[in-house]
Structure formats: structure tokens, C-alpha cells
């Protein structure tokens, strides 16, 4: 969706600080994320990129000692406001984790869980449709359509991760957060997921945390580089990889540290 040739801003983080107890993990992050684009967050381990990702759907709430300050505006609404309903928020912002984590239930139940708790299907038929569409979008339908009622944990790693993606898109989120979705997968499964990400960006805004710079370069349009809790540089992926402004970015991308 473009307005005057410029991509719409979907998420806007302003002055975000995150603390684990007394230790500060993120320092004054300011980042705009554009709609229907893939934004990659890269950086060495422990740089805070996953922490930032988890701020966007308030998953840091689960950690008792974690405190988030600053504004994160999604659809003109600051999600760090007290009035924000996390259940609604997480319905709009799906998440895929590093390790595939399907529920130890059937494939069907894995997909139908989200729509059923949010009351998105009125009948069994509608639910069947949602399951089918979600699996098709995740490019898993052909492989599993005959065993929808077998446990989701019986799939291969790559299939499990696509199942998790299907589960995430079953509630039609506007944004999908991916926390190193391919780090536990082999190259073939990784290629499948990357293809999928490219497809999904037509309907969803995607933010992906990755360790692999090659992956960031392949799938993303925009990239943000984190280092020691600070957002060092962000911009078009092409520019970050070919001609970064900051020497730290340069060093990281050329493999001098990290």
C-alpha cells in the first residue's frame, strides 16, 4: 500500500528502553517499520534484537523483571499504554519462534486454536475453511491434508515451523514477528520458509530477526543493525549491505566481529 510513492508506516517505535532488572538491554530505540515489507533485524548475539521484537507484541510481559519504556505506536495506538489489551494486540500481531513449538495436539487443533479462542468461525465448515486456507498459505496443505488429525509434533522440523507459521496466520494478523525462524532448520527447509516469507509479505507486515546476514539480504527490503542494545543503523537492505554509513555496521557485515 503506497501513498504518494512512499510506503505507509505500520509500526513506529519511539525512544524505547528495556530493562532486565537493573540491567538495561535496549537504549533509546527509534525505528519505523513499513507496511507490507520485510524488515530484518540483525546483529551479534545478545544485542537486543529479539528483545525488541518481543516488545512489539508485549511478550516481554511474561518476564517478571522486564520493564519496557517508551512508545510503540501501531495503527495510531501506543501499545505500551495501560489501556492496551494484550489479547487483542496479539491477535493482530502474530509470532513465530526460533524453535518450532506446535502444541502437542493434532494439526487441525493447532491451526484452529487461535480462531476458536477469538471466535472467528461460526461453524465447523468455516473452521475447516480457515484451517485449509492457513495451511495453503503456509505451503503445507499438500503435504498434510490427509493427516490433519495426527499430532503436529510428528512432523519434520521444517514442516513444524511451517505449521507454526500457518497457526500464526490463521487469525489473519496484520504483522508477523519471526524470531530466527530458520535457525533450527536445514538449508532446504530454510529455503522453503524464505520463499514463504516473500509470499506472505503481500498481506502481512513481517519483521524477522536473523543471525544469517545472507538470509537478511535475501528476504528483507529493510534492515536494522543492533549492537549492544543500540540501533546502530537502519535503512534499505541494499544500502546497509553495500554501503553502510557506520563503521560498526561495515565491520559486522564484512565479518570482522560478531
Partner 1 sequence: MNKNKEKLLAKRYSSEKRFQFLGKSAIFMALLFLAFFIFKIFSTGYTAFQKTWLIVPVNFDVETMYLDANPSKEDLEDADYFEISLQSMFNLDKNANEKQQNELKKMVSYFFEREIKQELINDPSLLGKTKEIYLTASDDLDQVFKGNYPRDLPEKQRRVTDYQLKIFDQLVEQGKVESKFNLSFFTYPDSREAELAGIASSFMGSIFSILVCLAIAFPVAVLAAIYLEEFAPKNRFTDFIEVNINNLAAVPSIVFGLLGLGILLAVFQLPRSTPLVGGITLSLMTLPTIIIACRASLKAVPPSIREAALAMGASRMQTTMHHTVPLSMPGTLSGTIIGLAQALGETAPLILIGMVAFVNTIPGSPMDPAASLPVQIYIWAESAERGFVEKVSACIMVLLGFLIIMNLFAQIIRHKFEKKWS
SS3 call for 64: coil
Nearest distance in Å: CB 225, partner 1: 25
- The yes or no reply on residue 167 touching partner 1 (CB under 8 A) is yes
The sign of the CA dihedral 6, 7, 9, 15 is negative
- The yes or no reply on residue 158 touching partner 1 (CB under 8 A) is no
C-alpha angle 225/216/97, rounded to 5°? Answer: 90
Stretch of 19-27, 68-76, 114-122, 229-237 contacting partner 1, by CB under 8 A: 114-122
CB 206 within 8 A of CB 178: yes
- The yes or no reply on residue 172 touching partner 1 (CB under 8 A) is no
- The yes or no reply on residue 67 touching partner 1 (CB under 8 A) is no
87, 119, 122, 146: which one binds partner 1 (CB under 8 A):
87
- The yes or no reply on residue 104 touching partner 1 (CB under 8 A) is yes
In eight-state DSSP terms, residue 243 is S
13, 33, 37, 94: which one binds partner 1 (CB under 8 A):
94
Nearest CA to 74 out of 107, 31, 117 is that of 31
Task: Scan residues 5-64 and list those touching partner 1 (CB under 8 A).
Answer: 57, 59, 62, 64
Stretch of 24-32, 40-48, 109-117, 193-201 contacting partner 1, by CB under 8 A: 109-117
Nearest distance in Å: CB 87, partner 1: 5
Place of cell 500464526: 168
CB 157 within 8 A of CB 189: yes
- The yes or no reply on residue 183 touching partner 1 (CB under 8 A) is no
**Counting Cβ atoms within 10 Å, is residue 188 exposed (0-12), middle (13-18) or buried (19+)?**
exposed
68, 107, 165, 168: which one binds partner 1 (CB under 8 A):
168
- The yes or no reply on residue 88 touching partner 1 (CB under 8 A) is yes
CB 174 within 8 A of CB 204: yes
Q: Report the Cα–Cα distance between both ends of the chain, in Å, rounded.
A: 36
Chain residues in the site for partner 1 (CB under 8 A): 57, 59, 62, 64, 87-91, 94-95, 97, 99-104, 113-114, 117-118, 153, 157, 160, 164, 167-168, 171
Amino acid at each position: 500500500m503506497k501513498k504518494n510513492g512512499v510506503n505507509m508506516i505500520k509500526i513506529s517505535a519511539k525512544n524505547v528502553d528495556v530493562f532486565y532488572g537493573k540491567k538495561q538491554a535496549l537504549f533509546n530505540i527509534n525505528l519505523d517499520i513499513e507496511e507490507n515489507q520485510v524488515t530484518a533485524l540483525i546483529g551479534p548475539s545478545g544485542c537486543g534484537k529479539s528483545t525488541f521484537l518481543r516488545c512489539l507484541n508485549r511478550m516481554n510481559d511474561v518476564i517478571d523483571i522486564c520493564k519496557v519504556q517508551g512508545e510503540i505506536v501501531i495503527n495510531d495506538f501506543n501499545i505500551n499504554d495501560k489501556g492496551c489489551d494484550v489479547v487483542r494486540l496479539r491477535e493482530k500481531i502474530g509470532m513465530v519462534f526460533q524453535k518450532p513449538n506446535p502444541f502437542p495436539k493434532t494439526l487441525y487443533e493447532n491451526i484452529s486454536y487461535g480462531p476458536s479462542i477469538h471466535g472467528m468461525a461460526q461453524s465447523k465448515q468455516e473452521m475447516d475453511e480457515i484451517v485449509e486456507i492457513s495451511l495453503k498459505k503456509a505451503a503445507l496443505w499438500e503435504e498434510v491434508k490427509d493427516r490433519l488429525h495426527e499430532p503436529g509434533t510428528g512432523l519434520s522440523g521444517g514442516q513444524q515451523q511451517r505449521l507454526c507459521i500457518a497457526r500464526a496466520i490463521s487469525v489473519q494478523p496484520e504483522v508477523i514477528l519471526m524470531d530466527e525462524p530458520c535457525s533450527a532448520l536445514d538449508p532446504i527447509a530454510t529455503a522453503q520458509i524464505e520463499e514463504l516469507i516473500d509470499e506472505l509479505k503481500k498481506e502481512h507486515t513481517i519483521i524477522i530477526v536473523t543471525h544469517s546476514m545472507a538470509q537478511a539480504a535475501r528476504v528483507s527490503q529493510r534492515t536494522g543493525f543492533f549492537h549492544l542494545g543500540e540501533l546502530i543503523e537502519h535503512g534499505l537492505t541494499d544500502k546497509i549491505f553495500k554501503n553502510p554509513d557506520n563503521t560498526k555496521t561495515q565491520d559486522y557485515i564484512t565479518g570482522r566481529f560478531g
